[in-house]
Structure formats: structure tokens, C-alpha cells
Structure 1
């Protein structure tokens, strides 16, 4: 009677290892091959001595042959192959195309989950086994092959071939976990028929060797058995961090008029912002003052008007309505401009605009305000995409940022990331859920619980486009060969040079003996003592606490009082210094 391996009473991995320990070589036919799952049999395969085996090119020494039957391939590629007749021979070009597609799938395996030391050890061992031809892997492409067959060959005269047949793939779940059904095949007539079945498919003309591709995938992954230069690690990090920006630059094309008018850094800002806007329905452009946020937003509106036929609503302060209307007219935007002060009256009855630009969005930091609620209600009702413009999006707290983002992000929306530093502080996701029972862990509300800058930087990476002058100067400017100064080149060829700040020391004389010399009087002991004697009660609240209070203070109150002492001394010194500087800059105003 065959023995059943269901991974409950008997584990298939144990049966295979015990059998391979008494064998010389093995043949495995599986539907799917998980690179990490190989660790369950890796040591056992290392112990195989190998045997000669007859293949289509003659006798060859083999240790372990692995036939993969259903590895994931792109559907169009599979259809193309299946519709070709059985007599179709795969040429070199087709083989290269197929191997590249398959390599991407195996490579994707290694990006899932956090790698462990055990994963690294056994992937390196698999690489070595492949290089030494101890393991050879082929892909069966004639048709999908869902069989799971494990054959072990030995010199035992009575039972030279042992088979295992059933449902388990060569994965950790298939070899160890419950829910499988496999049996051993000890009958030699049946075992030999299974061996012939395997050999027929191994020698099929549409069975291609992918051993070298697997070696390359492992050796170019995090499991590679080599030291990497820090610079290469830096490049890898930079590559992944810039993925969003690169996607935007390649995904969209600027309208021709803006190609002619925008500088290079402005064009890239539009394309990156377009990627965020299209993918996440909102973006914040936070370039510092003077870098052209307005024209960048106008170009973004024109791009979405041309590509997606979206009309634009522009909400801005009253004093720049005329400027925005000028942009609307100049670039032929299908847009309406209204001021912040008009939103409560206008928005409830306004037609649908699928794109909303909010200039000076930092004015909407208060999510309790009536203007904020009117704008948010309009955006939600019309499912509008949103462009936020502000050079100062952050003022007092991180809530300034989230309030603006929540104009287009629902409180319970899954944004794909969570505040990892804050969760780590609490002790893990379980503790977060227990403390914040009504807050989804991957929502913007979850980020509002965090005071960690790293969490907020990760959040804003998804929505913010922001550059500084120094960044533009370092990455987009040219250098004058004559004077070495940095400049930007406009479309007409003219250059705009970055100003150079050169601090200069200005010395002035004063006579301590001259009673009419204002600077001499400023530095006199009398003035210095007057400044030092200032009480500055607002900043010295510690001095006004009762020495023996009637009611004992709580621990929280004691902490506040001790902070008053430290902060008070610093602030008082700061005020005295500033006053002295003010006197020095304009003595006539005070003396």
C-alpha cells in the first residue's frame, strides 16, 4: 500500500529528504518553482552523488533535473506559443524573448517580503548548485504542465526508482503545510512509467534550459555572494526613490506651447506632478517662491485638458485673480477663476469641474473653517482631481499638511503606506490597532497620530513636488566658462544668472571719550546694564511661581514648570540680544 503524505501526519519534505539520502540522483517535475522554497530540499540534493542518464543528445551525467511546467508567463506570450503548431520550432529570437519574460517573473519573487538570513544562505547555495550543474532547470513550453512528480534513483537492485506523486509544488507551503495529498510510488512498473513520462517531456524540443538565467537572477539580487560598493548601494537607493519622478517624465508629454516657454526644471515639475495627479487624484506643488508654481499649474491644467478633457476651477486669493485670468486667456484654458472669499456662495451651485487648482492652499490649514468645508464638499461631490499650490505648506504642525491633503483624500482611504516609525514606537501594528480602534492603519488619519518626521516625509513623497533654488542651481543650471557663474537658459537663448551673495564686513569708528558718539554710548556700561536689568516678565514666568503653593502640583504640572525655567532663561537672553542688535542698527531711534 502506498504511504500518504498530507503534511499533517506525514510531511512530504521529510519523506523526500529521507529517500534522497539513499539515492544517487533526482528528477522533479513541478507546476511552479519558488526560489526560496528550494531550501527545503537543497541540503538533500547536495548529498546526491549523481548518475549517467540518457538524453536526446546522448548519455550525460546528472545529479538533479528540475522541470517547471506552469511558471507564470504573460498571457499574450502563452497564446502566441500555444496557437503555433506542435511542429513549430522555437528559434533563437523566440527563446531569448521567452527567457527574458520568465526572468522578470523569477526576479519579482525575490522582491516579495523581507529577506532573511536563511533565504540568503540557501539562494546562494542554489546559485552554486546551478553553476556546478548539480541542478539543471528546464521550462516546458509546449503546453501548461500542472503535474507534481518527484523521482529518486539509486543503485538498489530491488527498488531503483522511488516516486512521489500528488498535489505539492516545490514551495514551502507545498512541501510542509497542510492541505496537500501525495503518495509514494514503490511499484517499479509504475515508477518506470513515470520515469519515461518525465524523460519524454525533458527531451521535448519545446523544453528550454533556463539554468543560466536563474544564475544571473540570483547573482544580481540581494542574495548575491559578493560585496557591493557603497556607491552602488547609493545608486540603487536613488533609483528607487526617483521611480515616481521617472514614471511621470516618461508617462506624459507637455503641450507644445509649454515646451517652448517652460524651463527644464519647470517642465519636469509638470510631468512629475501629472504622474501624482493621475495616480492619486491630487498633488501639492510646493516649490519655493519665485520658481514658477503658477505657470507650472497652468501647464498641468492644459495637459489634463488635452489628454483627459478636464475643465479647471481655479481658487485663489482675491489679489491674484487678474493674474490667473491672464494665464487662462493666454493658454486657452477651459477654466473659471474664483477667490477664496467666494467659495461659500459660489460652489454650492457651480457646475462640475473635474480639476480644481487651489492657490495659496496653506490658507486652508484649518479643517474646521467654513471655506475649507465648502471646498472639500465640492471636491467630494464632483470627484475632482486637486492641485494644491503653496510655498509654505507647513507652518506650525504636521496637521497643516494633512488638512490640505484631506481635501482630496478620504479619512479611511487606503493610501498604501503607514506611519512605520510611530507604529514601531507603539510596539507594532497590533498595538496601533488596539490604541486607535477607529483608525485604519494605512490612512491619512493614522499619520496624524505620528510626530515623527520620517513618517511625514514618506507620506509627502507620494504627493509633494518641491524644489529649492539650491536644488535647481545644482541640477539644472549651466556654468559660464568665463566667470564660473551658474545660469539658466531661456528658450530664446538668453541667460539668467543666479545671484551670488558675498557678505562684506563694514567697520565703523567710535570714540568712547566722545559723549555725543551714539555708538560709544551704545557700548557703555550703563546701556548694557539697562538691557540686562530688563524683567521681561512674559518670558520669565518661572519667577512668578509661588514658593510654597497651597495646592500641591501634579507631575504633569511639575514638568510644565520645569520647562518654563529652561525655556524662560533662553528666551530672555534671546530678547536681550535682539534688542541690543536693534539698538546697534539704528541708534538714533533709541538714544
Structure 2
């Protein structure tokens, strides 16, 4: 014989198991619960489908004016009862609407936080169908917080056993009251205390109790249905929204997060265009994730300004910078360093090519930011320049503290391994956490050459490159120093047709006739050898 106490201590003595057995013989159920979550409904969905009527009475969990809170504020006041009565009796339309809105928010949160699964999707669809079929009615009790939990079941009028024989039953139904909310936890594994109540008098009393609260409550079925309809289970995304979602996940590493990257309005940042500031923000994200970035905008888009802004960003955070560039660019970088107060040192790339190149670069072992202008000069790993620099980087590996900024409009000249050798300057191991397949940079490059994978899947993680067409399309109104950006217009070459005969008259024909008379004797000496 089953015990009347239901406490979820065992699977057989869980509220879920008891309700499931009683619902099979019932035609209606009335539920009063402080909380409602999809999981509780989903657990009993198959049994609930066979009922004629389901009435769900829930509380608004956001009511700031509950009796308990009033009592706390007026604990020692003689007028506490009057205040409680006033709250219970008088709620104007604005207050009711506010509480209904709170209840909608609670339901929205319940559906949004429900695990996205086939089971929960089916449960939400069934809930919506129950409301459309008028099988399910939902109301919200607003007068005070509904702390009661009750499950009142009305038995079917005619019951039959497995053999089809009619079962005579005098009970009108059965009730369970206690602590369990209509949630998955309340039905199954929370430590609860509920009691089974039988007998027609008790059933009648609890039915009247429920009816009284039901009549005092506000209808919530329409709002309930609206929230379900707008949930992830019923509000299907359009193909375009799916496309945008996929696109976002592809490029999210490159999207500027202005809250995380507070780019100071220093002199250099003030001089940047919008597209250059965007590149700086994207580059910082890449540098922090992979310790290296390619700044590879086409010629004329200000790669050196972007590089200067990156040095300035890290300089303000106490990082020391080194700029390595070809000899002809040293004067330009010295100007940027002085003008924007970058605090950087500048080294000629040619110094690395000398036999003592390692000793030269080794003086800068304290540098945490290294910018290499025209980094494509490091595409070949077999020359002194590359070997000296790589040895320096390996000997003074700063364990993800050093950042390399590779500035080049042409990171690849011949093969993908041009890029590979530059990546190896900041990513020394072939095994990688960069999301590529295979997760080995050397193997990946070989598969790029074999056209088995897309090179772009790696480049989009490490490289920033915009063309003039991109700037004209997405930044058409951009200005520098108040003047619009204008790219020279390239005119299609037009052929100029002319007639040699018309220009030189008959001279061309005469020249050809003279050519015909040439014997080229010096090239045909054997014709003059006597036999």
C-alpha cells in the first residue's frame, strides 16, 4: 500500500510517479503552483494529452508588495492588517498590467533558459496547442504571492479495467498538497513534503478553495500563448537569419568589441579614419588571441598608421616596442615615433642579414611588441635575416607576452609557405589551437597546396586586408583631415590606330625591298668556301 506522504525520496515515491498514475484515471486537473517551468510540463506531457481540461494557476514572482514584505516593514505597527487588506483588495489597472508584464517576463525567461532539445520543443508546441484547443487555461494570482501548491484531480465518471469491465468508484477525485512546485525539480528530485488527500469532502473543499482563487485571478492564457509563440521552439528563424548567424560565428573573432577595447582618443587615434580604427580594434583582438597579426591592406590605405596606433595602444600599457623596417623606411618610422611619442626603437632590417645579425637583434630582448614593416622579406627561412631573427625569438620566448605586428601588402609572393614562415615568427609550433583542419600549420599548408582546404580559413583568423573597393563600398563618406578620400580613377587603355603607309608613305615598302636585297654574307660564310 502506497504511503500518503510523498517526498521524492525514491523514484516510486516521487510526485511525478504519483501524478502519472492518478492522471490516467482522471479527466481534469487543477494545478496551483508558485512557479512554472517547461520541464515540469514536459515530464507529464503524454499523460496530460488525455485530459479534457487543465487549469493552471501561477503566482507572479516579481510582486514587490507581497504580504511578507509588508509585514517586515510594519512589524510593530498597529495598522499592518489594514495595509494587508488594502493590498489584497485594491490593485489598479496599471499595477495589474505591471504584474502581468512581470509574469510574461518570468515565462519568457523559463522558455529561453529551457534546454534546446527535441523534448522541450515538443513540450512547448503541445502547450501552445492545448491553449488553442482550449484544453489549457492559465491564470495569474496577483493579490499576493501564491505560496500554495496543490494538484486537484477529478476522476473520470466511467472507469474500466484492462478487460473492459466497468469499475465502480465512489470517490470524485484525489488531491495532493504540499511543497512541490510544478517544475521538474519539484516533481522528481527536490526534497519535498506533500500529502495525498482522499475523500469527497476534502476533494470538494479543495475544489472550492481553488475556484475562489481562480475567480480572483487574472486571465493569462493569451499572454501565455504569445510568449510560447515567440519562443525558440515556435518562432522559427528565416533562412536569412540562419545565414547571419553562421556569418557571425565565422567572423565574430574579428568584430570590434568597443566595451572591451577602449581605444583612447590620443593623437594617433584622433588621426585615424573609421576603417583604420576598426582595423586597430580587430588587430588587438587577434594579437591577444594568437600573439601575431598581419596588417595587409592594399597600398595607400595607411598600414603604417594602423601599425603606429597598435604600438601606441600597447605603449600606454607599459609595453616596449621595436620597429624593424627596410633602410629606406627608417626615416618615416622615426618621424612617426617622434611625432606620436610611441617610445619605440627602430632597427634596419639589413642589420639582421649580416653575420653578426643575432648579436645586433639580441640587444632588444626586452621588447614585447615588435612591428615588422614589409614582413614579406621574412618569407624565406633559408637566409641570414630569417635565421638570426627566429633564433632571437626562440631564445627569448616570452611565453605569450610578446606580440608581433607584420605589416605587408603582399604576405604571399609564391607559395602558401611564404605565409607559413612569417607565422612561425610568432607561432613557433606547428600544432595549433587556431581553428583550422588539420590543426597543424605545416600540414594545413600542404593541403592548401593540394587544394584540399581553403587558405582563407586560416587567413581570416590572422590577417586584416581591405581593398580600395571595400573602402569605397563600406566607407564611402570617410574623410581625412576633413577631405574626402579619393582614389585615382584608372582609365581603360584605348588603342591608337594608325597606318604606317599613311605616316611614312611608300618608305616602309621601300625599306622592305632593300631588306630583300640583303645577302647577310657574314652569316653565310660557307657559301663562299671553295671546294
* Fold equivalence (TM over 0.5): yes
Q: Distance in 2 between matches of 1:494 and 1:505?
A: 33
- Unaligned runs of 5+ residues in structure 2 are 74-86, 88-93, 157-170, 215-219, 502-507, 517-531
Q: 2:312 maps to which residue? A: 302
TM-score (norm 1): 0.56
Spell out the pairing of 1:35-54 with structure 2 (5 A cutoff).
39-50=42-53
Q: 1:25 maps to which residue? A: 29
Cα pair distance change 1:457/1:494, threshold 3 Å:
closer
SS at match of 1:160: strand
SS at match of 2:305: helix
Q: Post-superposition shift, 1:119?
A: 5.9
SS at match of 1:319: helix
Q: Distance in 2 between matches of 1:409 and 1:101?
A: 48
Q: 1:582 maps to which residue? A: none
1:385 counterpart = 2:403: yes
TM-score (norm 2): 0.62
Q: Post-superposition shift, 1:467?
A: 0.8
Q: Distance in 2 between matches of 1:189 and 1:274?
A: 69
Q: 1:461 maps to which residue? A: 460
1:496-545 superposed Cα distances (whole Å, 9 cap, x missing partner): 2441432424435478x95967xxx9xxxxxxxxxxxxxxxxxxxxxxxx
1:457-515 superposed Cα distances (whole Å, 9 cap, x missing partner): 3444343322111111111124xxxxxxxxx532233552441432424435478x959
Q: Distance in 2 between matches of 1:447 and 1:165?
A: 59
Q: 2:330 maps to which residue? A: 321
SS at match of 1:161: strand
1:147-182 superposed Cα distances (whole Å, 9 cap, x missing partner): 9x89462337275125798999638xx97xxxx688
Q: 1:344 maps to which residue? A: 358
1:359 counterpart = 2:361: no
Q: Distance in 2 between matches of 1:138 and 1:297?
A: 60
Q: 2:174·2:198 contact (CA, 8 Å) conserved in 1?
A: no
Q: Distance in 2 between matches of 1:355 and 1:99?
A: 52
Q: Distance in 1 between matches of 2:489 and 2:435?
A: 41
Q: Distance in 1 between matches of 2:446 and 2:265?
A: 41
Q: 2:322·2:345 contact (CA, 8 Å) conserved in 1?
A: yes
Q: 1:347·1:375 contact (CA, 8 Å) conserved in 2?
A: no
Q: Distance in 2 between matches of 1:413 and 1:32?
A: 49
Q: Distance in 2 between matches of 1:7 and 1:365?
A: 69
Q: 1:255·1:302 contact (CA, 8 Å) conserved in 2?
A: no
1:538-560 superposed Cα distances (whole Å, 9 cap, x missing partner): xxxxxxxxxxxxxxxxxxxxxxx
Spell out the pairing of 1:219-368 with structure 2 (5 A cutoff).
219=230, 221=232, 223-225=233-235, 228=238, 231=240, 233-234=242-243, 243-249=252-258, 251-278=261-288, 280-306=290-316, 308-340=317-349, 341-342=351-352, 344-365=358-379
Cα pair distance change 1:362/1:493, threshold 3 Å:
closer
Cα pair distance change 1:129/1:305, threshold 3 Å:
farther
Q: Distance in 1 between matches of 2:407 and 2:175?
A: 73
Q: Post-superposition shift, 1:268?
A: 2.0
Pick 1 or 2: higher relative contact order, CA cutoff 8 A, min separation 6. Answer: 2
Q: 2:479 maps to which residue? A: 489
Cα pair distance change 1:464/1:49, threshold 3 Å:
farther
Q: 2:60·2:102 contact (CA, 8 Å) conserved in 1?
A: no
Q: 2:167 maps to which residue? A: none
Q: Distance in 2 between matches of 1:210 and 1:279?
A: 49
Bigger mean CA offset, 445-454 vs 367-376: 445-454
Q: How many residues align?
A: 443
Q: 1:4·1:183 contact (CA, 8 Å) conserved in 2?
A: yes
1:1-23 superposed Cα distances (whole Å, 9 cap, x missing partner): 35998998999877755543434
Say which one has the larger Rg. 2
SS at match of 1:154: strand
Q: Distance in 1 between matches of 2:434 and 2:245?
A: 22
SS at match of 1:252: coil
1:170 counterpart = 2:170: no
Q: Distance in 2 between matches of 1:445 and 1:6?
A: 58
Q: Post-superposition shift, 1:384?
A: 1.7
Cα pair distance change 1:213/1:397, threshold 3 Å:
farther
Q: Post-superposition shift, 1:121?
A: 4.8
Bigger mean CA offset, 10-19 vs 237-246: 10-19
SS at match of 1:297: helix
Bigger mean CA offset, 379-388 vs 149-158: 149-158
